[in-house]
Chains A and B, each alone.
Chain A
Amino acid sequence: MIPASFDYVAPQSLTDALAALAEHGDDAKVLAGGQSLLPILRMRLNAPSVVIDLGKVTELQGISDEGDHLVIGAMTTYAAVLASEAVSTHAALLSKAVATVADPQIRHRGTVGGALVHADPAGDVGAPVLALDAELVIAGQGGATRTVPAADFFEDLFTTAVGEDELLTQIRIPKHTGWGAHYEKFVRVSHQWSIVAVAATVRAEGGSIAEARVGLTNMGSTPLRATAVEQALVGQSATEEAVRQACARAADGTNPPSDLNGDADYRRHLASVLTRRAVLAAAGA
């Protein structure tokens, strides 16, 4: 479990990082927190000739409040997100999901941006970012910057809208202040990836659900929105039976994998159970 030999570049700025990417092209891999990339290198599943470490690009770290949005730098660690009062106040769903990622050691190294670009469908940040209607800011060559809605960001298994010579720089999350939130994760052992998880955030008004956002983890090759559930929840009272009915078809339109941890049918079943639980918890019921 030792990686093949590679050159290591540690740019100090976003500009330098993009220049390094341009220079090395598809021979390069970008290192964020390393919690996925390093095992991949150590198992020799990938052998890039250059590793570009973004650890010293401080402009990509940190969380700021921009009025109606929170802006999270791509290199912000899970632990920093978890410690942020701004996130727990205005994007509680992300806090709740991040709290379930692996263990404290990994949360102190792993980054939100790294996880999003790695795009493992069993990872825990895709579904809340999708459910919160976040926008992803991508920097390209020559100072170009584009903003992609989360719904267009995830393209396939381990594939996103970030091009080979681009870098994800920011996650812009519209504030969901006052929304209840819950991330319901089903695992066999607590530090593992989700077998299925559901991210739900709900705005309640007088005991009923005014708005709901639901994201599904590991129910397909990308994080998914359960839009039918979201619509069915609007106007429902936050009671077990009403929510159960609205969540019954959480797995509609999904294409979950079958693997050692469960077959697709079991995952579809889990999706409806976990969605109900997540919504009820988010609604404070």
Chain B
Amino acid sequence: MSAPPPRVTHGPGEPYVGTSVPRVEDQRLLDGRGRFLADLAAGALSVVFLRSTEAHAVIESIDTTRATDMPGVVGVYTGNDLPLARDYIGSLHTPDPGFVAATGFRMPEQRLAILPVDRVHYVGQPVVALVASDRYLGEDALEAVDITYRPLPAVLDPSASLAPDAAPIHPHLPDNEAGRIEVEFGDDVAADAVAVTVEGTYRIGRHGAVPLEGRGVLARVDGQRVSVWTSTQIPHLVRQGICEATGWSVDAVRVVVPDVGGGFGTKANVYAEEVVVPVLARLTGHDLVWVEDRQEHLVGSAQGRDQVHRTRLSVDREGRVLRWEDDFLLDIGAGGLWVAGVVANTAIHLLGPYRIPRVRLRGRAAFTNKTITAQYRGAGRPEACFALERSLDDAAGRLGITPVEIRRRNLLTAADLPYAQPLPYRDGVPIVYDGGDYLRCLDSVLELLPAETVERLAAEHPDLTIGHGVGCYIEATGRGSFESGRVRLTSTGGFEVASGAASAGQAHETVFAQVAADGLGCSLELVTVRRSDTDLVRHGVGTFASRSAVLAGSAIRRAAEQLLDQATGRAAQLLGVSPDLVKSTASGFAAADGSSEWEISWADLATACAPGGAQEQLGPLDVVEYFHPETVTWTMGAHAAVVGVHRGTGAVSVLSYAVAHEGGVEINPQVVEGQVIGGVAQGIGGALLEQFRYSPTGQPTSTTLAEYLLPGTCDVPDVQVRHLGVATPCNPLGVRGAGESGTIAVSATVAGAVEDALHGLVRVSETPIRTGPLRAAAEQIRREGQ
């Protein structure tokens, strides 16, 4: 076992980037002083939503008369009562034309109604909004809303949905296809070169983020403006969604993000509730709040994964990949505003960190009558990784080489990198993996968790049959188009930093402060990072897709440098010296000309540019920067797991786990490590436990945390993380995204380890891995005394 990664501490005069300074938000969050959405609700009336109880049905009538007369009810609203310019929320991503041309990508416009009046498409879809003096009376009154549904057959399988005779789920989209992509390159392979071809069908179950804090929206009307607090990762896109649906000007809507207790992609979405609550606030003139409860969350918040891959992989005698084909289906439920992202992510990441000369991929996204989907942590990458890595394990087994060996023979090495793929990325820029040495990650993870660990753990756990698995992933991170960063000198000589990339708990208050302090050359204590607010930064995109450190970090760095540059000139002017004599210090500026020394603090500068100050006419020191990356930067990593399968029950325990990843510069190594470990925990949930299930009629059956199983501390072992930093030239910080690195390869890695534990008697081709089918194999191994 190797030692844990070094904790780099910060010394005087050194840069903050690269040091594990403690998270400044932790004190507040851990001692209960966090201010989450529900903490802001005092004084607001409650909005409650009546949600569809049908998976697919025509709404024959909605009668709100009885409910309107119930105690405490202010109003009951259907979709017909909302003054909307457009009754649906538009796509959150428009594909680049170059990417479309290269991949045949297409997706139709989705028009899932904000509050439907004629047809419902999934159980949990909001249908009626009710405003009441409190939530108790609101929920009582909901029971008095009478809706008559005429049920339609529910479509729950993506293949059935795309079949030619399938009934349309959305009447304007008769083929039920939500998105399509095709990727093909390389010359066909000579038949005699192929030693082994493996075919497989891989299913990745539907699961999702299930953050500690659910969603919630608070709206307050102030004159002509509406302010909206929402538990989101993407305040500016929420503002856009509200404005497009209502016709309000962006200047009339302010979106503020309070403390957020986890997002993981389910909150990187724009929801009907985020439109309805501000609309009703304006309609009623009251401050209104809606706080999602856990039952609503498990049926009404966007879910993820749910893919089927039909694959074919050919390798030569040495195990070198010759040809890789995958025809995959995504079940996006009743809708997904990020369908372009998930479809394209899946296809692109199917290329893996390997040399693959011949590729043919086809992906189709299907509508079904399940809950809506969004980009859950990984967003297509874990699914692609599962299909490719499982196929590699299968091919290795057939060739009689180890899973490690087949990867060793195919991984891109220092000699191959940077490596161009004959395909543009989603931004239209040709894909070039800007990595250092991917093979080194595999070697590293095996140092952390060698296959020999199996023997030691087998001796410790006689009831378990033990196996070792590996999985490799690649991840495009830091996608554009841009992110904002603002740095402002405050009146007391401190700095405020703001960005469109909202924090859902990822330590933005710490890492953005580190970046800004380095750019300003000031002490970290002078910097405060504000929560995201569209009034603080007028433009932004948000936090998702491992992009915040790369994009927001870079924007903040540049804003800080510009502010320092401007301030240096102003300090020189105030001191009456030439700017090249002025040096920045931890607290301001100093200048010396050999005989005299001068100092000026940041507070002095703030006073100078305030009204009545010597530099009043120059205005405040306040810089907004937009960072537009040329294209994405790539993170690669390798995972290894040792699992035990119980000989009597088939239950799977993950005993040991390691991740070696090639990220970029780490702004805060401990934060990155936390991201990776948390990602592994979520990955283990998806691999072994979590699944949103549905009855044959489309009723969700995972509607409490007794059915939707989340991993607990007992289910997640200590995770060893090794960072192999390779700075990227793609951004001024040299950082690569790491938010999804921990999650992507977990299902593939655990599945490989389970197969190894069961001596190949079972093929694991779906997640979550069910324990029942494993126990017969475990029993056979026990009987044979292996």
State which of A189, A193, A266 has its C-beta within 8 Å of the C-beta of B775: A266
Q: Are A189 and B715 in contact, with the CB atoms below 8 A?
A: yes
State which of A1, A193, A263, A277 has its C-beta within 8 Å of the C-beta of B772: A263
CB contacts (< 8 Å) of B294 on chain A: these are 1
CB contacts (< 8 Å) of A161 on chain B: these are none
State which of B143, B648, B689, B709 has its C-beta within 8 Å of the C-beta of A273: B648
Q: Are A189 and B711 in contact, with the CB atoms below 8 A?
A: yes
Q: Does A5 contact B (CB under 8 A)?
A: yes
Q: Does B136 contact A (CB under 8 A)?
A: yes
CB contacts (< 8 Å) of B701 on chain A: these are 260
Q: Are A4 and B715 in contact, with the CB atoms below 8 A?
A: no
Q: Does B175 contact A (CB under 8 A)?
A: no
Q: Are A5 and B711 in contact, with the CB atoms below 8 A?
A: no
Interface of B is mostly: loop
Interface positions, chain A 35-94, Cβ under 8 Å from B, are 39, 43-44
CB contacts (< 8 Å) of A108 on chain B: these are none
Q: Are A190 and B712 in contact, with the CB atoms below 8 A?
A: yes
CB contacts (< 8 Å) of A43 on chain B: these are 295, 704
CB contacts (< 8 Å) of A193 on chain B: these are 706
Q: Does A207 contact B (CB under 8 A)?
A: no
Q: Does A262 contact B (CB under 8 A)?
A: yes
Q: Which residue in chain A gives the minimum CB-CB distance to B715?
A: A189
CB contacts (< 8 Å) of A1 on chain B: these are 293-295
Q: Are A5 and B136 in contact, with the CB atoms below 8 A?
A: yes
Q: Are B702 and A191 in contact, with the CB atoms below 8 A?
A: no
Contact with A along B630-660 (1 / 0, CB 8 A): 0000000000000000001101000000000
State which of A4, A189, A269, A277 has its C-beta within 8 Å of the C-beta of B710: A189
CB contacts (< 8 Å) of B140 on chain A: these are 4-5
Q: Does A270 contact B (CB under 8 A)?
A: yes
Q: Which residue in chain A gives the minimum CB-CB distance to B711?
A: A189
Q: How far is the CB of A44 from chain B (nearest CB, A)?
A: 8
CB contacts (< 8 Å) of A266 on chain B: these are 771-772, 775
CA distance A97 to B704 in the complex (A): 24
Q: Does B190 contact A (CB under 8 A)?
A: no
CB contacts (< 8 Å) of B709 on chain A: these are 188-189, 192
State which of B648, B707, B775 has its C-beta within 8 Å of the C-beta of A260: B707
CB contacts (< 8 Å) of A186 on chain B: these are 649, 651
Q: Which residue in chain B gives the minimum CB-CB distance to A43?
A: B295
CA distance A275 to B775 in the complex (A): 16
Q: Does A144 contact B (CB under 8 A)?
A: no
Q: How far is the CB of A7 from chain B (nearest CB, A)?
A: 14
CB contacts (< 8 Å) of A270 on chain B: these are 649
Q: How far is the CB of B426 from chain A (nearest CB, A)?
A: 37
Q: Are B293 and A260 in contact, with the CB atoms below 8 A?
A: no
Interface positions, chain B 703-737, Cβ under 8 Å from A, are 704, 706-707, 709-712, 714-715
CB contacts (< 8 Å) of A277 on chain B: these are 648
CA distance A260 to B715 in the complex (A): 19
CB contacts (< 8 Å) of A5 on chain B: these are 136, 140
CA distance A161 to B499 in the complex (A): 64
CA distance A277 to B651 in the complex (A): 15
Q: Does B135 contact A (CB under 8 A)?
A: yes
Q: How far is the CB of B437 from chain A (nearest CB, A)?
A: 39
Interface size on A, residues (CB 8 A): 23
Contact with B along A259-275 (1 / 0, CB 8 A): 01011001001100110
CA distance A190 to B295 in the complex (A): 21
CB contacts (< 8 Å) of B712 on chain A: these are 189-191
Q: How far is the CB of A281 from chain B (nearest CB, A)?
A: 12
Q: Which residue in chain A gives the minimum CB-CB distance to B707?
A: A260
Q: Are B775 and A269 in contact, with the CB atoms below 8 A?
A: yes
Q: Are A260 and B702 in contact, with the CB atoms below 8 A?
A: yes
Contact with A along B588-608 (1 / 0, CB 8 A): 000000000000000000000
Q: Which residue in chain A gives the minimum CB-CB distance to B296?
A: A1
Q: Does B25 contact A (CB under 8 A)?
A: no
Contact with B along A1-40 (1 / 0, CB 8 A): 1101100000000000000000000000000000000010
Interface positions, chain B 108-136, Cβ under 8 Å from A, are 135-136
Contact with A along B137-163 (1 / 0, CB 8 A): 001100100000000000000000000
Q: Which residue in chain B gives the minimum CB-CB distance to A193?
A: B706
Q: How far is the CB of B715 from chain A (nearest CB, A)?
A: 6
Q: How far is the CB of B7 from chain A (nearest CB, A)?
A: 31
CA distance A44 to B295 in the complex (A): 12
Interface positions, chain A 121-146, Cβ under 8 Å from B, are none
Q: Are B772 and A188 in contact, with the CB atoms below 8 A?
A: no
CA distance A274 to B650 in the complex (A): 12
Q: Does B693 contact A (CB under 8 A)?
A: yes
Interface positions, chain B 7-48, Cβ under 8 Å from A, are none
Q: Are A192 and B706 in contact, with the CB atoms below 8 A?
A: yes
CA distance A191 to B293 in the complex (A): 21
Q: Which residue in chain B gives the minimum CB-CB distance to A192?
A: B706
CB contacts (< 8 Å) of A273 on chain B: these are 648-649
CB contacts (< 8 Å) of B135 on chain A: these are 2
Contact A260/B651 with A4-B143, A189-B712 known, Cβ cut-off 8 Å: no
CB contacts (< 8 Å) of A262 on chain B: these are 771-772
CB contacts (< 8 Å) of B714 on chain A: these are 189-190
CB contacts (< 8 Å) of A260 on chain B: these are 693, 701-702, 707
CB contacts (< 8 Å) of B775 on chain A: these are 266, 269
CA distance A191 to B710 in the complex (A): 11
Q: Which residue in chain B gives the minimum CB-CB distance to A270?
A: B649
Interface positions, chain A 226-285, Cβ under 8 Å from B, are 260, 262-263, 266, 269-270, 273-274, 277
Interface positions, chain A 184-198, Cβ under 8 Å from B, are 186, 188-193
Q: Are A2 and B136 in contact, with the CB atoms below 8 A?
A: yes
Q: How far is the CB of B72 from chain A (nearest CB, A)?
A: 11
State which of A39, A188, A263 has its C-beta within 8 Å of the C-beta of B689: A188
Q: Which residue in chain A gives the minimum CB-CB distance to B708?
A: A260
CA distance A213 to B651 in the complex (A): 26
Q: How far is the CB of B229 from chain A (nearest CB, A)?
A: 22
CA distance A186 to B651 in the complex (A): 9
CA distance A5 to B143 in the complex (A): 12
| CB pairs A–B below 8 angstroms (28 shown) | A2-B136, A2-B139, A4-B139, A4-B140, A5-B140, A43-B295, A43-B704, A44-B143, A188-B651, A188-B688, A188-B771, A189-B709, A189-B710, A189-B711, A189-B714, A190-B714, A192-B706, A260-B702, A262-B772, A263-B772, A266-B771, A266-B772, A266-B775, A269-B775, A273-B648, A273-B649, A274-B649, A277-B648
Which residues of A does B touch, CB under 8 Å?
Answer: 1-2, 4-5, 39, 43-44, 186, 188-193, 260, 262-263, 266, 269-270, 273-274, 277
Apart from the given pairs A4-B140, A269-B775, 10 other A-B contacts in the complex at a CB distance below 8 Å: A1-B294, A5-B140, A43-B704, A186-B649, A188-B689, A192-B706, A193-B706, A260-B702, A266-B771, A266-B772
